[in-house]
Amino acid sequence: MGRFNRIGVLTSGGDAPGMNAAVRAVTRLALLKGIEVFGIYNGYRGLIEGEMEQLGERDVSYIINRGGTMLYTARSEEFKTKIGIDKAVETCRKFGLDGIVTIGGDGTFRGAVELTDAGVPCIGIPGTIDNDVASTDATIGYDTAMNTVVELVDKLRDTGESHSRCNVVEVMGRESGDIALNTAIAVGAVCAVVPEMPTDFDKLYTKMITARKNGKRNFIIITSEGVGKDYCEHLCDEIREKTGIETRFVRPAHIQRGGSPTLRDRVLATQMGCAAVESLVSGQMKRVVCLRGSAIETMDIHEALYLDKMMKNQLTKEEEDLIPPNRLYDMRRMVADRLALKEYLNYMITNIVL
């Protein structure tokens, strides 16, 4: 492997608080190690178009506290095609980029795999509020988004309590119910409705009716967007009908993606940014940085994607056959542990909260 003289860094997919902190860490540590850094604007689309400029130490000053991403982001359809990948590889050659640190969610990692396979080594850093990257216990931005939801719902409860209402709040997360489950616990919700497991609505309505009789005024139900479009509107109608409780619906939507990152996200982003650079310079390419327990580790980028597919029940038999049996066992255990944790969170909400 040749020495890394110049790397690129980009953010792609939905922005997440803490992405800037990761860009800062990548830039500063790479510079310290004598590697030049180019900030690529607008994700893979910018890589195709060659939208980039060299970053110095001061270019990443005073961004650790800022939400959004200073490199901007975009979802690129062209990059999903062979022509798009070829153009991106060509741009890397033109600018002399020896490798790229890509910050984003599972879609970003799929792009990183394509690029790696086409000859440009990539290291992925998980940055998305959804926490739906199977290889890591936490993604950058997830903690901030949850804190934002908690702050909003605490406000909502003031008015819900005054008016004796139920509030249904739909949070983001794509197919992952992590934001919903954790925030439901943190705000004292009576239920979290998530795509990973069924909800016993009859039990919920009985519980609500009993609690109302016993003097409970406000009810919070957190739903995850992954349960389906227009789901919440119907749910509100059903709650009114089955319990007689006045119900309102709130969707905080993209507000969840904004704001200054929490301490936890700033630290995680900094650790992951540094780990990405360390990994590159030590010759460990084609990897994804992950948090496992309290340790920052890396995982093979292809394996991380297979793990992701396994979590989403999208792994094909052919792909499964490519994984060594001992790794397959580990991966199945990781997926099972993750689901077990979600089930336990749901158990707590269902049986302890009210």
**Long-range contact list for 79-83, CB < 8 A, 24+ apart?**
79/44, 79/45, 79/47, 79/48, 79/111, 79/114, 80/111
CA torsion angle 336 338 339 341 (round to 10): 120
Q: Which stretch binds ligand F6P (CB under 6 A): 37-45, 128-136, 311-319, 332-340?
A: 128-136
User: Residue 36 or residue 225: which is nearer to ligand F6P going by CB?
Assistant: 225
Q: Which tokens sit at 236?
A: 């509100």
Q: Which stretch binds ligand F6P (CB under 6 A): 124-132, 241-249, 284-292, 298-306?
A: 124-132
CB of 226 to ligand F6P, least distance (A): 8
What residue ranges in the chain does DSSP mark as E strands? 6-11, 36-40, 52-55, 99-104, 122-126, 166-171, 191-193, 219-224, 247-250, 287-292, 295-300
Work out whether 46 is an interface residue with ligand F6P (CB under 6 A): no
User: Residue 74 or residue 353: which is nearer to ligand F6P going by CB?
Assistant: 74
Q: Which of residues 155-184 bind ligand F6P (CB under 6 A)?
A: 172-174
Task: Give which of 70, 136, 69, 81 is closest to 110, Cα–Cα.
Answer: 81
Angle between helix axes 325-352 and 301-311 (nearest 10 degrees) is: 50
Work out whether 302 is an interface residue with ligand F6P (CB under 6 A): no
User: Residue 99 or residue 105: which is nearer to ligand F6P going by CB?
Assistant: 105
Q: Do β-strands 36-40 and 52-55 pair in parallel, antiparallel, or remain unpaired? A: antiparallel
Binding mask 13-32 for ligand F6P (x = CB under 6 A): -x------------------
> Has 130 been annotated as catalytic?
yes
**Catalytic position from the list 130, 132, 143, 308:** 130
* Cα–Cα dist 99/96, whole Å: 9
Alpha helices, DSSP H, located in 60-200: 82-95, 106-117, 142-163, 178-187
Q: Which stretch binds ligand F6P (CB under 6 A): 127-135, 159-167, 297-305, 344-352?
A: 127-135
User: Residue 105 or residue 273: which is nearer to ligand F6P going by CB?
Assistant: 105
User: Residue 8 or residue 173: which is nearer to ligand F6P going by CB?
Assistant: 173
In sequence order, the β-bridge partners of residue 39 are 9, 53
Q: Which of residues 245-274 bind ligand F6P (CB under 6 A)?
A: 257
Q: Pick from 36, 51, 114, 130: which binds ligand F6P (CB under 6 A)?
A: 130
CB of 70 to ligand F6P, least distance (A): 18
Q: Which stretch binds ligand F6P (CB under 6 A): 81-89, 125-133, 240-248, 296-304?
A: 125-133
CB of 173 to ligand F6P, least distance (A): 5
Angle between helix axes 325-352 and 178-187 (nearest 10 degrees) is: 30
Identify the residue whose tokens are 């255990």. 333
* Cα–Cα dist 180/169, whole Å: 9
Active site residues: 130
Residues making contact with ligand F6P (CB under 6 A): 14, 105, 128-130, 172-174, 225, 257
